[in-house]
Amino acid sequence: MQRMSTDGRDPGAAALFDWNRAEPAPAERRLPPGGVPAEAWAAARAEDEAWLPFERAARPVEVLDETLRDGIQGVSTVNPPSAQKIELLHAMASVGVDAVNLGIPASGPRQFEDACLLAREIVSSRLPLALTAAARTTAADIEEVARVAERAGAPMVVYAFIGSSPIRHFVEGWGPDFLARSVEAAGRAAAAAGLPFCLVAEDATRAPPGMLHALFRAAVDAGAARLCLCDTTGHVTPPGVAALVAFARRELAALGAPGIELDWHGHNDRGLGLSAALWAAACGVERVHATALGVGERVGNSCLELLLDNLGRLGARAPVPRERLAAYCAVASRALAWPIPPDHPIAGALTRRT
């Protein structure tokens, strides 16, 4: 039975932190009565340009396709046959996706065999897709990822996830010691298997700074190569993205690990999945996650084809022809039994009608 405080409120929810309110907007960005002075608009524009240094980035923003992991976890999509998953892999490569998540091998026999098959397909067809797979922060889960990598004969990054917000800790009865031990166990198992690992901080956009500091420190101590900031409930706004990414950078630098790369993983519960992903890229994360047609748990994830299209238009990576993106959407639609909405900006039937 869920515990409640004496006043009837959920103590886990009460402890949630809102990164959207972490740093108030600069004074010149607030609208004064009667309009905005010209100098304020100039200051705002200068600040925007400083926040969007796409053309000056050291390298293109990477995109990781989560369709075959988070995408098929949605209750309204299907887990496609292996042949259609392979077709989707080739479609990913055709639009320039950098990395793919092959699922959670430890979640069942089919998931394990499919991950092996897909990994071998990437290797044998020489698809330019970096291999990743998801796992809980347990040695048993990570050993299953290692078995997939061994069968494929290819390197693979483990994305080991753990909840970071107070509401999850309250429900599960987790304490700081449990979290630290879990991350340490994940790092030890990944190192033993010779696999780099990324610590995935679920619900980071609602986690207090102190909790994130403890997780980041545990990740650094465990040898993490990457850190993934998750907007698991689609809660964050662009200012919250900026505040959280800046906090993560400061923390990693203070922990002596400025070289750890950042990922962004977002959902679309408020309709802000795409804008949050673009803002994360603008704020300097090295890799952004998304799914075909935005499918995923509840109302879905950041939409991959729209992310690629907009990153290309903003100069963050090479542009992809819209015809190729539309073909990717068609493959995903067939595989997932997910109809393309007529008003889809790239592949919808209404795109050429006025």
Q: Could you give the CA distance from residue 171 to residue 167 in angstroms, rounded to a whole number? A: 6
Does the CA dihedral 100-103-104-110 come out positive or negative? negative
Where the chain has pLDDT below 70, the residues are: 1-15, 23-58, 169
Predicted pLDDT at 76: 84
Q: Which long-range contacts (CB under 8 A, 24 or more apart) does 236-240 make?
A: 236/19, 236/20, 236/205, 236/266, 236/272, 236/276, 237/20, 237/270, 237/272, 237/276, 238/272, 238/275, 238/276, 238/279, 239/20, 239/23, 239/25, 240/18, 240/19, 240/20, 240/21, 240/22, 240/205
Whether the CB-CB separation of 264 and 229 falls below 8 Å is answered with yes
Q: Could you give the CA distance from residue 215 to residue 177 in angstroms, rounded to a whole number? A: 11
Residue with tokens 């039994």: 337
Predicted pLDDT at 290: 99
- What is the crossing angle of helices 273-282 and 238-254, to 10°? 40
Q: Within the chain, how many helices (H) and strands (E) appear?
A: 12, 8
Nearest to 73 by CA among 41, 92, 50, 101: 101
* 60-95 burial code (b ≥16 CB/10 A, e <16): bbbbbbbbbbbbbbbeebebbeeebbbbbbebbbeb
Whether the CB-CB separation of 4 and 10 falls below 8 Å is answered with yes
* 4-27 burial code (b ≥16 CB/10 A, e <16): eeeeeebebeebbbebbeeeeeee
Radius of gyration (C-alpha) of the chain in whole angstroms: 21
**H or E element at residue 241:** helix 238-254
Predicted pLDDT at 189: 96
Predicted pLDDT at 35: 43
Predicted pLDDT at 163: 83
Q: Could you give the CA distance from residue 347 to residue 62 in angstroms, rounded to a whole number? A: 23
Q: 270 vs 8, 165, 234, 274, CA distance in Å?
A: 27, 19, 6, 11
Please give the CATH number for the structural domain made up of 56-336. 3.20.20.70
pTM: 0.85
